[in-house]
């Protein structure tokens, strides 16, 4: 078994990893770290939860430590671009954790808050800068940030930056960085525009793909529950009565729906909060911190707000509303079963979402197991779905049970005997791998 000490990392980094309980690198870390230590450019195709933050943070920290330079005002040596504020904060925390014995100065800059503290941090000198494209470009235009000394450039979640309209800003930012740099680009999917961007900024790069494009994580037990739209909130309340649902991330399509679902859960006695774009950055960070700390058992989120959520121990992802974009489903359920753990993903499907469900199954090349054991099963929707769907892998029609009277939070799935989180084990307790 490969360990972090086998990858050529220096002692301060190994000490930090050991303190966090990390000993076994994930596949992307095993492949990326030795290559990045050599200074190669890299294109990484990896879904969330594969450990890509450590895959790039550890070698960058080690290479910076090998050539120590005093942090200069407004001139970072490493720049990490991310699409969302939450992801920027979490990557900044990752660098702080892994580099705590190296003494590098860090700054995280993003929009939605005043720029005063961010400007002060840049003026004091920064080695590592984590930023969202919009705010970074603003500060560059005001001459608070100078990228002429950047040695390491990371573009994380490039496909989401494309979706959010940031690619033009990214190209402007990259054009201000010297060509003599090490560049890394990560993306869960590889649409043509992202591939074009990669070819334009990477030189003699290595491509690493740790999960086949558009497929879901094998450790996730996926189920779909057909339910009338008006019964969804009651079904959610019933599911949350199961103590196996220790920490749940619930997805809605809209900000308004996220608020309504969170309010319903709170009235039902469930500790819950909502996170979406209408909340201030401080409010969003408080909600995320409460979720991490266990003060909120359920976090209800929209897709954009949740893109950067990287929280250990999410036992269940519940799609209260199915996304219109099948790729978003893959990103959503990837919030559970992270870093070697297992998890459960449950999709609610009403009559208007049958087409979305079929699009997800085509994209993921999987037929999602139907759960008919819940009290709100809508047989007429399941029957309609069956007309548009191939038969499930075990040969049963989609509207019939696929395993006896398995409870809603069942503890086994049909693939290779892997367990969900409803049994006696605690998958969220696996902390052997860095994120």
Any domain includes 122: yes
Q: What is the dihedral of CA 337, 338, 339, 340, to 10 degrees?
A: 0
What pLDDT is attached to residue 418?
31
Edge-first strand listing for the sheet containing 220-226: 272-275, 298-301, 248-251, 316-319, 343-349, 220-226, 369-370
Distance CA 300, CA 247 (A): 11
CA angle 116, 118, 122 (to 5 degrees): 115
Among 209, 241, 270, where does a domain finish?
209
Mean pLDDT, residues 29-33 taken together: 95
For 35, the token pair is 């290559």
Percent of the chain predicted with pLDDT > 70: 84
What integer pLDDT is reported at residue 48 of this predicted model? Answer: 66
Going by pLDDT thresholds of 50, 70 and 90, the confidence category of residue 8 is: very high
Neighbours of 10 (CB within 10 A): 15
Per-residue pLDDT of 400-418, as tens digits, reads: 333 333 333 333 333 333 3
C-alpha separations of 317 from 204, 228, 342 in Å: 39, 19, 12
pLDDT tens digits, one per residue of 287-344: 988 998 999 999 999 987 666 677 888 999 999 999 988 878 888 888 887 666 678 9
Claim to verify: residue 230 and residue 285 sit in the same structural domain: yes
- In this structure, is the dihedral angle defined by the CA atoms of residues 14, 52, 317 and 299, taken in order, positive or negative? positive
Q: pLDDT by residue (tens digit) across 256-287?
A: 999 999 999 999 999 999 998 788 878 888 89
Closest CA to 233 of 372, 332, 350: 350
Selected residue with higher pLDDT from 154 and 417: 154
- In this structure, the answer to whether residues 375 and 328 fall within a common structural domain is yes
Q: Which helix (H) or strand (E) holds 428?
A: none
Q: Are 50 and 69 in contact (CB under 8 A)?
A: no
Asked whether residue 435 is assigned to any structural domain, the reply reads no
Rounding to the nearest 10 degrees, give the CA dihedral for residues 207, 108, 94, 103: 110
pLDDT at 78: 98
Same domain, 316 and 358: yes
Lowest-pLDDT range of 31-45, 136-150, 200-214: 200-214
If you average pLDDT over residues 169-179, what whole number do you get?
95
Is residue 214 domain-resident? no
Domain hosting 176: range is 4-209
**At 37, is the pLDDT very low, low, confident or very high (cuts 50, 70, 90)?**
very high
What Cα–Cα distance (Å) separates residue 321 from each residue in 292, 346, 385, 408? 23, 11, 16, 18
The model's pTM: 0.64
Q: Mean pLDDT of all residues in the chain? A: 85
CA distance 176 to 302: 33
The reply to whether 434 falls in a domain is no
Strand spans (E) along 74-213:
78-81, 106-109, 128-131, 152-155, 182-187, 206-209
pLDDT bracket for residue 205 (50, 70, 90): very high
Among the three residues 209, 236, 268, which one is the final residue of a domain in this structure? 209
Q: Label residue 170 by pLDDT band (50, 70, 90).
A: very high
3-state secondary structure of 81: strand
CA distance 310 to 132: 17
Domain count across the chain: 2
Q: Report how far residue 206's alpha carbon sits from residue 203's, in angstroms, rounded to the nearest whole number.
A: 9
In terms of C-beta density within 10 A (0-12 exposed, 13-18 middle, 19 or more buried), how is residue 388 classed? exposed
Span 378-402, pLDDT tens digits: 999 998 777 665 444 333 333 333 3
Query: Is 100 found in the same domain as 10?
Result: yes
Whether residue 26 lies inside any domain: the answer is yes
Write down which residue in 174, 209, 244 finishes a domain.
209
- Cα(88)–Cα(12) distance, integer angstroms: 24
Beta bridge partners of 186: 44
Examine the domain organization and report whether 258 and 149 are in the same domain.
Answer: no
Assigned domain for 215 exists: no
Q: So what's the pLDDT on residue 270?
A: 96
Same-domain check for residues 178 and 227: no
pLDDT at 423: 35
In this structure, are 201 and 232 located in the same domain? Answer: no
Overall size of the chain counted in residues:
435
CB 350 within 8 A of CB 280: no
Claim to verify: residue 180 and residue 281 sit in the same structural domain: no
Is residue 14, in this structure, part of any structural domain at all?
yes
Position 212 pLDDT exceeds 60: no
pLDDT of residue 188: 82
Same domain for 302 and 176: no
Q: Note whether 172 and 262 are same-domain residues.
A: no
Beta-carbon contacts of residue 273 (< 8 Å; ≥ 6 apart): 262, 287, 290, 291, 296, 298, 299, 300
CATH label of the domain that carries residue 103: 3.40.50.300
159 lies in the same domain as 275: no
* Beta-sheet strand order (sheet of 206-209): 106-109, 128-131, 78-81, 152-155, 182-187, 42-45, 206-209
Helix 133-141, helix 116-124: angle, nearest 10: 70
Q: What is the pLDDT of residues 39-97, one digit of tens each?
A: 999 999 987 667 889 999 999 999 999 999 999 999 999 999 999 888 899 899 999 99
Same domain, 251 and 204: no
């Amino acid at each position: 078994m490969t360990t972090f000490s086998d990858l050529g990392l220096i002692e301060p980094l190994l000490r930090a990893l050991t303190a966090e309980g990390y000993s076994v690198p994930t596949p992307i870390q095993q492949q990326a770290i030795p290559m990045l230590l050599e200074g190669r450019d890299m294109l990484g195709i990896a879904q969330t939860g594969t450990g890509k933050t450590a895959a790039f943070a550890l070698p960058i920290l080690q290479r910076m430590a090998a050539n120590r330079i005093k942090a200069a005002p407004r001139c970072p040596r490493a720049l990490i671009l991310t699409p969302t504020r939450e992801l920027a904060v979490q990557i900044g925390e990752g660098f702080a954790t892994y580099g705590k014995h190296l003494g590098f100065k860090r700054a995280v800059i993003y929009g939605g808050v005043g720029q005063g503290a961010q400007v002060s941090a840049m003026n004091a000198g920064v080695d590592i800068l984590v930023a969202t494209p919009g705010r970074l470009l603003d500060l560059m235009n005001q001459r608070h940030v100078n990228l002429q000394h950047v040695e390491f450039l990371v573009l994380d979640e490039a496909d989401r930056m494309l979706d959010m309209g940031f690619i033009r800003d990214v190209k402007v930012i990259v054009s201000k960085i010297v060509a003599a740099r090490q560049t890394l680009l990560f993306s869960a999917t590889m649409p043509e525009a992202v591939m074009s961007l990669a070819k334009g900024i990477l030189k003699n790069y290595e491509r690493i793909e740790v999960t086949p494009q558009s497929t879901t994580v094998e450790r996730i037990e996926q189920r779909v529950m057909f339910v009338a739209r008006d019964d969804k909130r009651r079904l959610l309340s019933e599911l949350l009565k199961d103590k196996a649902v220790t920490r749940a991330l619930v997805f809605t399509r809209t900000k308004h729906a996220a608020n309504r679902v969170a309010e319903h859960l709170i009235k039902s006695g469930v500790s819950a909060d909502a996170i979406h774009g209408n909340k201030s950055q401080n409010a969003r960070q408080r909600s995320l911190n409460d979720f991490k700390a266990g003060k909120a058992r359920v976090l209800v989120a929209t897709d954009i707000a949740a893109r950067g959520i990287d929280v250990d121990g999410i036992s269940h992802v519940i799609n209260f509303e199915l996304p219109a974009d099948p790729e978003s489903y893959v990103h959503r359920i990837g919030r559970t079963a992270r870093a070697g753990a297992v998890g459960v993903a449950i999709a609610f499907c009403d009559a208007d979402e049958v087409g979305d469900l079929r699009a997800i199954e085509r994209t993921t090349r999987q037929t999602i197991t139907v759960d008919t054991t819940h009290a709100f099963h809508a047989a007429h929707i399941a029957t309609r779905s069956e007309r548009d769907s191939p038969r499930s892998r075990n040969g049963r029609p989609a509207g019939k049970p696929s395993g006896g009277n398995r409870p809603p939070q069942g503890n086994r799935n049909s693939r290779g005997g892997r367990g969900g989180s409803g049994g006696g084990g605690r998958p969220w307790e696996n902390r052997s791998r860095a994120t």
